[in-house]
Structure 1
Amino acid sequence: MLSQLTIRNFAIVESLDLELQTGMTVVSGETGAGKSIMLDALGLALGDRAESGVVRVGAERAEIVARFDLSQLPTAAAWLEAQDLDQDGECLLRRVITAEGRSRSYINGQPCPVAAVRALSGHLVDIHGQHEHQRLLKREYHRTLLDEYAGQMSRAEQVRERYQEWRRLDQELKTLTEQSEEQTARIQLLSYQTEELDQLGLAEGELEALEEEQKMLENAGQILHTGHQLLQLTADSDQENCLGLLNHCEQLLASLDSQSPALQQAAEMLSSAQIQIEEASQEVRHYLDRVEVDPGRLQQVEERLSGIYDLARKHRIQPEELIEFHQRLRRELESLSRSDEELDALAARAGKARDAYLDNATKLSQARQKAARKLARAVDGQLHELGMPVAQFEVALTELPAERRGPQGLEDVEFLITANRGQPARPLGKVASGGELSRISLAIQVITAETSSTPTLVFDEVDVGIGGAIAEVVGRKLRELGERAQILCVTHQPQVASQGHQHLFVSKKNGTARTQTRIRNLGRDDRVQEVARMLGGIDITERSMAHAREMLGLG
């Protein structure tokens, strides 16, 4: 249940702290006092769209905090636990809106996207707005109401998902089938090109190795001559060479004062130079061992390179791009060359998806048919109590032809009403007056509230368009709901207000600089005064006070 609502700098509310009770809480006040501000603030905490205009003039930001007791809310507690947001049986929703229009949402102190708050709010509060009766004029809303009443919202979502999966696979199958003939020529070209590249058989790194080998073979004679000269100078000459000269230098250095640090360092450097020259000579020998004057091998390398270069020119790419190009052609060919077995497998998947859709949609239809009869009887009963004794409510289910079946299921759903005897049932918008539409809406809301698993129900002026004895019936019904759920009800009707377990009064104070809205919890005497005001207007008489006490059961 909603246990506390804190509002700061929201609209014309500077500061407000409300402690809310179980049962039925009514909210009343003069017209224009801002009775719906509390519900608007609650809506923002629950994830409604925020605008900068909601921030109180002169304030930097507005802040709303809604605290919920989760002891009777296992689904909300499970949701929070799944998101690692659980907090000892409580849920704290906080919304901050800056004057610049920026907005942040928090769940139990953790920043969260608004979408997450909205997902959680469905487990916390069920709001019935003051324009609910206008939604009854939209046929798509009838289907949603019926599915909610039947407890089939999860099944309806499954039907939608199965339909989308079926249509996706079916469209993919259709596209592939249509493309098969168009792709034949492309497949033939790709097959020829990949076969040609297969025959070339260019390996990774082969091009670079061939080009290096070609240079070596072309200059083999010069390379061998120069290389041997280098070896003679470094180590191989019988006369003077680098190693011999360094060895002689080392002997001369050794004849000097060996205790001198500077000479010791010089000796180490000469020794290091000998080692490096020996290693360099060895590397040159290894290289020259691989060099040979081989005109036959040179011809083979040049022919191989010519084949590579020719194929690269043919495809208008660089030779080094051939391997990646070959792989790309293979991937495209594999993609286009799906076998008949693969197409059959896709057709089978599409068929299974269609069967899954029809299976779920059929089960949903059966549940709708059963719930439609039950809902019609229940609404009839409520309408008779609400001053429409001969009204007959009907939930019409019209089976759709195969080509019109979609994500919503196998049938259209429409609410019909017979307001007078002898008349056929017709759509609500063509028969019901504004007052009748309000009562039909109220009847449906009361019935759906009775089956709701959400323990906090909000009714925002749902009693608009009714009064007198009918308003008294509405008040009693809301109080009955309040015996097993928390009810918040904004009302203009004294008959409804008198039924509340808790009464909040909204007032507006016009100051010299700005207007402020305040909400206070009425005690016994103040409550009599407020119900009397609602009965008689500005001038409260002893008669209206006595009537108010009687309505409140105090008389």
Structure 2
Amino acid sequence: MLTTLSIRNVVLIEALDLEFGAGLGVLTGETGAGKSILLDSLGLALGARADSGLVRSGEAQASVSATFEPPAPDHRAARLLADNGIDIEPGEPLIIRRTLKADGGSRAFVNDQACSAALLRELGGALVEIHGQHDDRGLLNPRGHRSLLDSYGRCDTGAVASAHAAWRAAADKLAESREAVEIAARDRDYLTHAVEELSRFAPEPGEEAALAEERATMQKGARLADDLSAVTDCLTGSDGGLAQLRQAARRLDRIVSEYEPLADVLAALDRAVIEAGEAEDRLAGAAEALSFDPARLDAIETRLFDLRGLARKHQVQPDDLAALRDDMAAKLAAIEGGEEHLAALEAEVAARAADYARAAQALSAARKGAAARLDVAVAGELAPLKLDAARFRTVVAPLEEGQWSAHGMDRVEFEISTNPGAPFAPLVKIASGGELSRFILALKVALAEQGGADTLIFDEIDRGVGGAVASAIGERLARLARTNQILVVTHSPQVAARGAGHMLIAKSSDGTVTRTGVHALTDGERREEIARMLSGAEITVEARAQAERLLEV
């Protein structure tokens, strides 16, 4: 609900702060007093096109702030703000502010957080509906008619949404599987050859590193074999160093028995023989470790070359060849069992489509029943509003299958015919602003609490009517105000008398500057204003008495 509106430097308004309450609020004033400026100011705050002509002459910029009660968490406005990353503390009022520079630049804010004009426009539509001669939102927008009808008829759309989701999921799975099978089938020959080739080769993860290490070891052995052989020859054999050491030690052993001082030399020779023997053993071990089979080395190099060649061919790492083989084998298996699998998926899609069709047809039937009831309800409101020659109908028409959605298989639109024999047409095609506003009122009364913004503004809904019709309009506005905040700009005393609050819009001038102001009327001032609306420039006793009677209704 709109609670306050602050306007600065908009056309004839220098500074204006207004407070609004619940129920039906009326705004009256003489023609040219500035009622349209007030609505233009509110429209600017709600995201209307920024026209630099709204900036008061001589001022650098204009600004308008509109404050609303805190929206409920599930309110469309709250969801919009959350989706766009604008945070509002629980219980905090919603403040929309728009500034407009004289050069045409504008900025928008929600609780002092900058936002785009597009978001402001969408947010404004969720908070306020303004119904006037040129309004093309609210009930005039066919995109909202289906949800309004569903709310009015309490049509359960959940089953259709669930069935549609299941149908789409099955269809997506079928499409993915069909594409996979088609791609695999095109590559059947390639896959068959590749799987056979890889299976024959039988690559294993880690094989490249093992082969490369074994080859490096063998190549090292080939380089060191001759040197090891020469070193071994120096130590071993009848003429080798170790044999000479042993022979020297035996001879020295005989000498030591006769010449004791050489015992230390014999001990050194014995140690040399022992260490030379250990060296011989280690050389033998090294030679064995570095020994290689040329045929084995050739086989390793061939295997390693082929392994790396296959990896390059399939554009993978050598260690990934085994996994590639398994993946290709799985694709081949999918080709073999593909048609059977696709047939099962096609049956699933058909079953889910049938479920959706049943749910959607039941929803269509419920909508048609609700449409018939709504048509009767609206028809009952037309005659008292001097629209007795008009006809209203709710069109529930089937959509093409390609347009079926989670909302069902129906197109819903409100249509009217304003004269006998005239064809039905969308609400937005109505030429007369007064007729359009009264149609909107009839629809709003019939729909009661079914969706829409919390605040509704009717601009001169009583244009061109009076007497009983004006009374009927006032009575219906008051009825609608039980569940919504209603603001109405009116020239009708019958409508004005129904208001819970009354504001007078007046223009004043000091000879040099003209200003528009708004004044909340007391009970006595309100009686005088309604009497003026009844009698014109000169307020008569009869007019005051009639005003009293209207206020007592």
TM-score, length basis structure 2: 0.67
How much does 1:68 deviate?
A: 0.8
Q: Mapping of 1:179-328 within 5 angstroms?
A: 180=181, 183-223=184-224, 291-312=290-311, 314-315=313-314
Q: Which residue of 2 aligns with 1:460?
A: 458
The match for 1:369 is 368
Partners in 2 of 1:525 and 1:505 — Cα distance?
A: 13
Per-residue Cα deviation, 1:35-80 (whole angstroms, up to 9, x for no partner): 3135425634xxxx7759699576678563523167xx68559978
1:43 and 2:46 are equivalent in the alignment: yes
Deviation per residue, 1:206-252 (Å, 9 max, x gap): 324433432332232435788999xxxxxxxx9xxxxxxxxxxxxxx
CA contact (8 A) 1:127 1:459 kept: yes
Instruction: Name the CA distance, whole Å, in 2 between partners of 1:138 and 1:455.
Output: 14
The answer to whether the aligner puts 1:427 opposite 2:424 as a matched pair is yes
Shift of 1:194: 3.5
In structure 2, do the counterparts of structure 1 residues 452 and 399 end up closer, same or farther at CA, with 3 Å as the change threshold? closer
How far apart are the structure 2 equivalents of 1:54 and 1:335? 70
Counterparts in 2 of 1:168 and 1:443: CA distance versus 1, 3 Å = same
Give the 3-state SS of the residue equivalent to 1:459 in structure 2.
Answer: strand
How far off its partner does 1:542 sit? 3.9
* 1:175 to 1:85, Cα distance in 2 relative to 1, 3 A: closer
Q: Distance in 2 between matches of 1:376 and 1:174?
A: 43
1:502 matched residue in structure 2: 501
Give the secondary structure class of the aligned counterpart of 2:69: strand
* Alpha-carbon shift at residue 130 of structure 1 (Å): 1.8
Deviation of 1:463 (Å):
0.7
Q: 1:140 to 1:62 in 2, by over 3 A?
A: closer
Shift of 1:413: 4.4
CA distances 1:464-494 after superposition (whole Å, capped 9, x unpaired): 6442122231112112222444322233444
What is aligned with 1:25? 25
- TM superposition shift of 1:514: 9.2
Select between 97-106 and 23-32 the one with higher mean Cα deviation: 97-106
Distance 2:3 2:286 in 1: 88
Residue type of the alignment partner of 2:131: G
- Which residue in the other structure is 1:272 paired with? none
CA distance, structure 1, for counterparts of residue 61 and residue 388 of structure 2: 55
The residue aligned with 1:486 is 485
**What amino acid is aligned across from residue 467 of structure 1 in structure 2?**
V
Cα deviation, residue 361, structure 1: 1.5
Contact 1:147 1:368 in 2 (8 A): yes
The verdict on how the C-alpha distance between 1:56 and 1:404 changes in structure 2, with shifts beyond 3 A counting, is closer
Give 1:105's match in structure 2, choosing from 110, 117, 124.
Answer: 110
Query: Helix, strand or coil for the counterpart of 2:349?
Result: helix
Distance in 2 between residues matched to 1:50 and 1:433, nearest whole Å: 23
State how many pairs are aligned.
Answer: 486
Answering whether residue 384 of structure 2 is matched by residue 380 of structure 1, we say: no
CA distance in 1, matches of 2:479, 2:91: 27
Which structure 2 residue ranges, 5 or more long, are not aligned?
231-241, 243-284
Pairwise CA distance, 1:427: 0.9
Deviations 1:346-385 (A, max 9, x none): 3244234323422332232232122122212211211121
Q: 1:191 to 1:21 in 2, by over 3 A?
A: same
Measured against aligned partners, the alpha-carbon deviations of 1:63-110 in whole angstroms (never above 9, x if no partner) come to 63523167xx68559978x9797856454344566865554434xx88
**Match for residue 130 of structure 1?**
132
Which secondary structure state, in structure 2, belongs to the residue aligned with residue 339 of structure 1? helix
Q: Distance in 2 between matches of 1:317 and 1:453?
A: 60
1:405-432: CA deviations, max 9, x gaps?
A: 6666445545565767xx6684146997
Once the two structures are superposed, the pairs formed by residues 56-135 of structure 1 within 5 Å of their partners are 62=63, 64-68=65-69, 76=75, 89-95=91-97, 101=106, 103-106=108-111, 125=127, 127-131=129-133
1:149 counterpart residue number: 152
Distance 1:12 1:371 in 2: 48
Aligned-partner Cα distance in 2 for 1:290–1:517: 108
**Letter of the structure 1 residue corresponding to residue 23 of structure 2:** G
Tell me if structure 2 keeps the 8 A contact 1:312–1:322: yes
Deviations 1:12-34 (A, max 9, x none): 76654333222211234444541
* SS of aligned partner of 1:27: strand
184-193 or 331-340, which deviates more: 331-340
Percent identity, aligned pairs only, is: 29
How many Å separate the matches in 2 of 1:25 and 1:93? 21
184 and 16 in structure 1: CA distance in 2 versus 1, 3 angstrom threshold? same
Contact 2:22 2:485 (C-alpha < 8 Å) held by counterparts: yes
Counterpart position of 1:360: 359
Shift in alpha-carbon separation, 1:547–1:304, aligned structure 2, 3 A? farther
Q: 2 CA distance for matches of 1:208 and 1:145?
A: 71
Cα distance per residue 1:425-454 (max 9 Å; x no partner): 841469977354543332112222x23367
Determine the C-alpha separation between the residues in 2 that align with 1:517 and 1:306.
Answer: 93
Give 1:302 shift.
0.7
CA 518–192 in structure 1, closer or farther in 2 if over 3 Å, else same: farther
Would the aligned equivalents of 1:187 and 1:337 in 2 still touch at CA under 8 Å? no
Give the structure-1-normalised TM-score. 0.66
Give the partner amino acid of 2:110: S
Question: What whole-Å deviation, never above 9, does each CA across 1:508-552 have from its counterpart, x for those lacking one?
Answer: 678999986544423335434544565577x45547963773475
Change (3 A) 1:308 1:432: closer
Does the CA-based 8 Å contact 1:26-1:503 persist in structure 2?
Answer: yes
- Work out the CA distance in 2 between the residues paired with 1:426 and 1:222: 104
- Contact 1:64–1:95 (CA<8 Å) still a contact in 2? yes
Name 1:269's counterpart in structure 2: none
SS of the residue corresponding to residue 202 of structure 1 reads coil
Question: Which has the larger Rg?
Answer: 2
Alpha-carbon distance in structure 2 between the residues aligned to 1:366 and 1:510: 62
The structural deviation recorded for 1:175 is 7.5
